[in-house]
Structure 1
Amino acid sequence: MSSRALIRPAWTPATIALMVGGFFVFWPLGLAVLAYILWGERLDAFKRDVNTATDRVFGGFRRSGFTAPGFGAPRTGNVAFDDWRDAELRRLDEERRRLNEASAEFEAYARELRRAKDQEEFDRFMKERRKSGSERNDGPVVDGHPA
Structure 2
Amino acid sequence: MTPSTAYAGQTTSGNWLTRTEAWLDARGKGAWIAAMVLGFVFFWPVGLALLAYMIWSKRMFSDRKTSMTCSSRRTAKMNRMRSSGNAAFDAYKADMLRRLEEEQEAFQDYLQRLREAKDKAEFDQFMEERAKRGGDSDATVEA
Same fold, TM exceeding 0.5?
no
Q: TM-score, normalised by structure 2?
A: 0.44
Higher relative contact order (CA 8 A, sep 6+): 1
Q: TM-score, normalised by structure 1?
A: 0.43
